[in-house]
Amino acid sequence: MSRLLHISASPRGAASESLAMAEAFLEAYRETHGDAVDHLDLWEAGLPVFGPAGAGAKMTVLAGNEPSGGEAAAWRAAREVFERYDSYDRYLFSVPMWNSSVPYVLKQFIDVVSQPGWVFRFDPEKGYSGLLRGKKAAVVYTSAVYGEHRGPAFGRDHQAPFLEGWLRWTGITDISAAEFRPNLATADAETGRRSAHAEARELGKRF
């Protein structure tokens, strides 16, 4: 049986559009597949800081050596986060747009788990190769101002290209997405919301 991990990046709880879309996806997913689903709320996860000790450990490992002292402790903390993530074969990311990109807590998660020998291998001649093959991901995106056809004055999309580029870099190439991008100036976004939730439910059925 497949195991799905929902990774949420919104701190807005019941007011979150991305979490509401994720719930539409998960409701259909559970009804269709009956698979186990777990939730990783990045705001409550207590993610480790990947600072000087972590960066030092990473460079030590890239050099073919074992971290020690404070570097070893930082490496173990990051490893615990990665092992939880890697224990699933399916992922749902719910991602609101913050300042044209993703919330910083999602970037922190990515920086913690993106380590040599975990999500990637590096060859001096061939470059990077992702190690998370055979997994799949779905993403629900939301934004309150940006929209593809609204022009640059309404922002630019560094959200989906960043996240999906990272997923592919780690070896996950089976990626599907649904989005809800209402304009804050629009008085009634309910029609678009219903359509987005229907898209999310359909994605959950097929996933």
Distance (Å, rounded) from C-alpha 7 to C-alpha 65?
32
Q: What would the DSSP string read from start to end of 144-183?
A: SS--TTS-GGG----SHHHHHHHHHHTT--EEEEEEE---
Q: What is the pLDDT of residue 1?
A: 72
Q: What is the pLDDT of residue 83?
A: 98
The gap from C-alpha 42 to its chain's centroid, in whole angstroms, comes to: 10
Q: What is the pLDDT of residue 187?
A: 59
Task: Look at the chain and report how many structural domains it folds into.
Answer: 1
Residue 94 is labelled as binding a ligand: no
Residue 114 is labelled as binding a ligand: no
Q: Residue 33 sits in which domain range? A: 3-206
Per run of 10 residues, the mean pLDDT along the chain (length 207 residues) is 94 96 97 91 97 96 94 97 97 96 98 96 94 97 86 87 98 97 75 94 96
CATH code, 77: 3.40.50.360
Question: Whole-prediction pTM value?
Answer: 0.94
Residue 18 is labelled as binding a ligand: yes
Distance (Å, rounded) from C-alpha 51 to C-alpha 64?
20
Distance between start and end Cα atoms, the chain: 14
Q: What is the pLDDT of residue 185?
A: 59
Q: What is the pLDDT of residue 156?
A: 87
3-class state of residue 119 by DSSP: coil
96-113 confidence digits (pLDDT tens): 999 999 999 999 999 999
Q: Given 3-state DSSP classes, what are the helix, strand and coil percentages for the chain, each rounded to the nearest 5? A: 45, 20, 35
